[in-house]
């Protein structure tokens, strides 16, 4: 990744779909570049933001839910923040679901204490009558908290000023710390160094006879518990804000109606896709194939040999016209419908419902969503490795997903939806134990 010589570096981190890209575009304008992280297939974006008369390099880290390095995106974000290349960090959060976002914030503060919290989507929070005590939140976290509505441009000047102050006066006061179980806290003190460095060391060699999975679960549960404590102190969410979602969940997630409703809805999507594409397919086929004779006449007029004319018209043009007329209409119908289901929040519920069944094959429920997209042809197709791993999460589960698709009648991966409403995996058994111990 290239950086402007001598320019301070500011990292932009946050969960997916919290408006991080909107904040990045607003702060950098058209002065941004894209590429790949060194040795990775994960894309990066960086640009230039102004801090008075000084240019800052703003690095947009991949959206991630934690720094526990379960995916390549999480490893990239963790490694960059821990490398010391960044002089400060902007942590973008969603004000409508702050508790979930605070898990990542607390983990980042352990490796990058010089940070500013961008409390984005405040306009949406006000619509839901969610009240956030920013002063109390700033006191709990130990870093500046700036309310923003990036889409409307509100709060961005204050955010820029806060970043400038953070660069001028590096954080010296205490920041929010995650309270881990005694076995981990004692090991952190013995390891020495910063908490972030010590945790990275303990993740390779868990203390107290813990397995790697047990250590990871306990660390994640402690972060979730601390985030819950901060949210209870600083956030007031009225019951009416979630009442509609809970009523829908009682129906969509019920044991009796959940699976039948899911099958009916997906069947309706496929019915609209298959039968709705007939008319535009016929229209495209008739018009595109109808150009075969004029194209052949034009090529003949140019003096090309008959076999070349036949190869270009019957071989190239007719195949291209057939593929476009057959493939384009279903894709133009299916993907917008699937995007609507995703934006409505229904697809994460489908993944949650089917997760138990997919766990029997050592896969996860998110694989069911990628299988819904494999409806194009019967021959194996190249897999979108980067997008699939980013969505499914782990290489092992990606391989299982790739192999099981070969047993489906339609198995091409034609796309992978965004993981914007991914479900955070919180080991509740350790979280409950931590609550009881306190």
DSSP string, 272-334: HHHHHTHHHHHHHHHHHHTTHHHHHHHHHHTT--HHHHHIIIIIIIHHHHHHHHHHHHHHHHH
**What residues contact residue 58 under an 8 Å CB cut-off, 6+ apart?**
10, 12, 24, 27, 28, 46, 47, 48, 49, 90
Burial of 117 (0-12, 13-18, 19+ CB in 10 A): buried
pLDDT in the model for residue 47: 87
pLDDT in the model for residue 374: 58
Whether 53 and 99 have beta carbons less than 8 Å apart is answered as no
pLDDT in the model for residue 5: 52
Please state, in angstroms and rounded to a whole number, the distance separating the CA atoms of residues 338 and 428: 31
What is the pLDDT confidence band of residue 67, given thresholds at 50, 70 and 90? confident
56 closest CA partner among 118, 1, 10, 115: 10
141 closest CA partner among 20, 230, 13, 225: 230
Whether 235 and 131 have beta carbons less than 8 Å apart is answered as yes
Please state, in angstroms and rounded to a whole number, the distance separating the CA atoms of residues 181 and 183: 6
Of 160-174, 284-298, 330-344, 391-405, the one with minimum mean pLDDT is 391-405
Please state, in angstroms and rounded to a whole number, the distance separating the CA atoms of residues 435 and 438: 5
Looking at 73-178, which runs of residues are DSSP E strands? 88-94, 115-120, 131-132, 145-147
Please state, in angstroms and rounded to a whole number, the distance separating the CA atoms of residues 127 and 136: 21
Inform me whether the pLDDT recorded for 388 exceeds 50. no
CA 210 to chain centroid: 30
| pLDDT higher at 194 or 173 | 194
pLDDT in the model for residue 384: 43
| pLDDT higher at 220 or 401 | 220
Inform me whether the pLDDT recorded for 429 exceeds 60. no
Please state, in angstroms and rounded to a whole number, the distance separating the CA atoms of residues 112 and 90: 10
pLDDT in the model for residue 397: 54
Element (H, E) at 35: strand 32-36
pLDDT in the model for residue 373: 62
pLDDT in the model for residue 66: 82
The pair of structure tokens assigned to 384 is: 């979108």
Of 5-19, 97-111, 370-384, the one with minimum mean pLDDT is 370-384
Inform me whether the pLDDT recorded for 94 exceeds 50. yes
| pLDDT higher at 41 or 9 | 9
* 95-114 confidence digits (pLDDT tens): 988 999 999 999 999 888 89
Q: Which residues of 338-351 are buried (b: 16+ CB within 10 A; e: fewer)?
A: beebbeeebbbbbb
What is the pLDDT confidence band of residue 70, given thresholds at 50, 70 and 90? low
Inform me whether the pLDDT recorded for 118 exceeds 90. yes
pLDDT in the model for residue 383: 42
Inform me whether the pLDDT recorded for 36 exceeds 50. no
Inform me whether the pLDDT recorded for 300 exceeds 50. yes
Of 177-181, 305-309, 426-430, the one with minimum mean pLDDT is 426-430
Whether 153 and 122 have beta carbons less than 8 Å apart is answered as no
Of 76-85, 238-247, 399-408, the one with minimum mean pLDDT is 399-408
Of 120-129, 307-316, 415-424, the one with minimum mean pLDDT is 415-424
Report CA dihedral (328, 334, 338, 340) to the nearest 10 degrees: 90
CA distances from 136 to 65, 88, 103, 172, 383 (A): 24, 22, 17, 19, 48
CA distances from 314 to 238, 281, 319, 429 (A): 66, 19, 7, 65
Handedness of CA 335, 35, 81, 364 (dihedral sign): positive
Average pLDDT, the chain: 78
* 203-234 confidence digits (pLDDT tens): 888 888 888 888 888 888 999 999 999 999 99
């Amino acid at each position: 990744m290239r950086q402007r010589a001598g320019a301070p570096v500011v990292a932009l981190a946050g969960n997916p779909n919290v408006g991080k890209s909107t904040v990045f575009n607003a702060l950098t304008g058209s002065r941004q570049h894209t590429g790949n992280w060194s040795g990775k297939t994960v894309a990066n974006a960086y640009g230039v933001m102004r801090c008075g008369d000084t240019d800052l390099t703003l690095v947009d880290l991949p959206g991630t839910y934690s720094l526990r390095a379960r995916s390549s995106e999480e490893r990239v974000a963790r490694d960059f923040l821990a490398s010391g290349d960044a002089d400060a960090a902007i942590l973008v959060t969603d004000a409508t679901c702050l508790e979930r976002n605070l898990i990542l914030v607390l983990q980042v503060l352990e490796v990058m204490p010089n940070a500013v919290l961008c409390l984005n989507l405040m306009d949406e929070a006000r619509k839901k009558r969610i009240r956030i005590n920013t002063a109390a939140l700033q006191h709990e976290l130990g870093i500046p908290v700036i309310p923003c509505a990036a889409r409307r441009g509100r709060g961005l000047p204050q955010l820029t000023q806060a970043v400038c102050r953070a660069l001028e006066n590096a954080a010296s006061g205490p920041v929010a710390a995650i309270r881990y179980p005694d076995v981990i806290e004692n090991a952190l003190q013995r390891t020495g160094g910063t908490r972030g460095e010590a945790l990275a060391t303990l993740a390779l060699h868990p203390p107290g006879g813990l397995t790697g999975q047990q250590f990871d679960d306990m660390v994640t549960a402690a972060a979730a518990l601390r985030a819950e404590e901060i949210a209870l102190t600083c956030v007031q969410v009225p019951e009416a804000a979630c009442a509609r979602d809970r009523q829908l969940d009682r129906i969509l997630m019920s044991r009796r109606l959940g699976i039948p409703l899911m099958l009916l809805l997906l069947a309706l999507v496929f019915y609209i896709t298959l039968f709705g594409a007939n008319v535009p397919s016929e229209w495209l086929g008739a018009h595109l194939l109808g150009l075969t004779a004029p194209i052949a006449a034009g090529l003949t007029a140019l003096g090309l040999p008959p076999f070349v004319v036949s190869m270009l018209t019957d071989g190239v043009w007719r195949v291209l016209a057939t593929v476009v007329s057959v493939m384009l209409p279903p894709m133009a119908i299916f993907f917008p419908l699937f995007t609507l289901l995703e934006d409505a929040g229904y697809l994460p519920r489908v993944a949650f419902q089917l997760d138990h069944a997919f766990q029997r094959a050592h896969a996860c429920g998110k694989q069911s969503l990628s299988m819904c997209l494999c409806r194009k042809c019967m021959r194996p197709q190249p897999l979108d490795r980067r997008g699939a791993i980013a969505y499914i999460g782990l290489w092992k589960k990606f391989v299982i997903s790739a192999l099981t698709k070969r047993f489906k009648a339609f198995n091409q991966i034609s796309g992978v939806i965004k993981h914007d409403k991914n479900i955070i995996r919180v080991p509740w058994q350790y979280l409950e134990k931590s609550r009881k111990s306190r």
